[in-house]
Structure 1
Amino acid sequence: MTTRHPERRTERLWLRQWRESDLDAFAEMDADPDVMRYIGDGSPGTRERTAAALGRVRAAWDERGYGLFAAEEIATGEPVGWVGLAVPAFLPEIMPTVEIGWRLRRRSWGRGYATEAAREVLAFAFAEAGAGATAGAGLERVVSICHVDHHASMRVMTKLGMTYDRTTRVPSHGQPVRVMALTREAHRASA
């Protein structure tokens, strides 16, 4: 497979590939109990876990041609978090599928960044795969998964046009999650 690492821009954000210099900002984000409250079992992350995640993100892009983008505020150059596509192997009952997800630093909450970035990532997800600046992942369907009490993420999913698929529990830690879905056809119809 030819490795490609696309970048995208929105009005306020640069969705780019991750750099080693992102580690401090993302480790700070992952260590914040408020940010991690609804992620996994709710435990704050460690710097080591974040560093390992950076390596997995790069490998996912190389392997699949899609992955998580680092989201940077264009005006300030500050990392605001990440948004992108991943395989949600932690929830086997919905496999095979691809998930769109996001995580923002607390100081970036409430600015509409998650919705803005996720709209651009969905455009990438559903664009035809291939070479060139407009190439995408060529997906037919995308899901998003969040803890049932994570109302802010649910609002983003609704704004994106996602519809309810199911409520279930993550086997590894038992947390209840809601799964929302969007097809390429529905995405195009709403555009």
Structure 2
Amino acid sequence: MADLRTDRLVLRRWQDSDLEPWAAMNADPAVREHLGDLLTREQSDASVAQFQAEFDQRGYGWWAVQLQATGEFIGFAGLDQVEDGMPFTGVEIGWRLARSAWGQGYATEAALAGLAFGFETLELPEILAVTTATNLRSQAVMRRIGMTRDPADDFDDPTAPEGPLRPNVLYRIARAVRV
């Protein structure tokens, strides 16, 4: 699988040098606010191993994201199969960036690269995005990349405990909209 490049970013396979900054992100309460508990270093490292295995199996997944200009790791973005047990199926797009990378358009830029890969290379008919109802920043990115929400698709995440992480919103974009 080739790297994806944008004007400012490289979306690439994970490297050992990503483990430390990834663990720091997963230990940051602001980064994890809409995701649940903070991760230990072991849990964080295990997530990267899983990302790499999924890439090997499917040829796509969660890419590590780095700045082209400096090579700095800033997070992840990509595509993943919707988890079993959700009230819908398909492929979802997502991103998670270090707090220092917020507010600079990187999530939108990485997501657009992911959409292009999903529609042009994988020829997916539709791509989904999911987040908590309170995650307004991610919902803004979803709208910026052309996704739309039908409130009738909103759902309670069956994997989340009762509380603010349970109500979720679902955004969609069809290949025909992008091509």
TM-score between both structures, scaled by the size of structure 2: 0.93
Unaligned 5+ segments in structure 2 are none
Out of 135, 157, 171, the position equivalent to 2:158 is: 171
Q: Tell me, yes or no, if structure 1 residue 89 matches structure 2 residue 101.
A: no
The runs of at least 4 consecutive aligned structure 1 residues that moved more than 6 Å come to: none
Out of 41, 49, 53, the position equivalent to 1:55 is: 49
Counterpart residue number, 1:160:
145
Question: Which residues of 2 match residues 1-191 of structure 1 at below 5 A?
Answer: 5-39=1-35, 42-89=36-83, 91-95=85-89, 97-127=90-120, 136-165=121-150, 166-173=153-160, 174=162, 175-188=166-179
Decide whether the 8 Å contact of 1:162 with 1:182 is kept in 2.
yes
Which amino acid letter does the alignment assign opposite residue 28 of structure 1? A
Query: May I ask how many residue pairs the two structures share in their alignment?
Result: 173
Which amino acid letter does the alignment assign opposite residue 167 of structure 1? D
C-alpha distance after superposition, 1:20-73 (max 9, x if no partner): 11000100001100000001xx21111111111111111111211211111101
Decide whether the 8 Å contact of 1:27 with 1:50 is kept in 2.
yes
TM-score between both structures, scaled by the size of structure 1: 0.87
Displacement after TM superposition at 1:75 (Å): 1.2
C-alpha distance after superposition, 1:130-155 (max 9, x if no partner): xxxxxx22211110001101111000
Which amino acid letter does the alignment assign opposite residue 140 of structure 2? R
RMSD: 1.1
Decide whether the 8 Å contact of 1:65 with 1:137 is kept in 2.
no
Q: State the alpha-carbon separation in 2 of the partners of residues 113 and 67 from structure 1.
A: 18
Structure 1 residues 93 and 69, CA gap change in structure 2 (3 angstroms):
same
Structure 1 residues 137 and 7, CA gap change in structure 2 (3 angstroms):
same
Sequence identity, in percent? Answer: 39
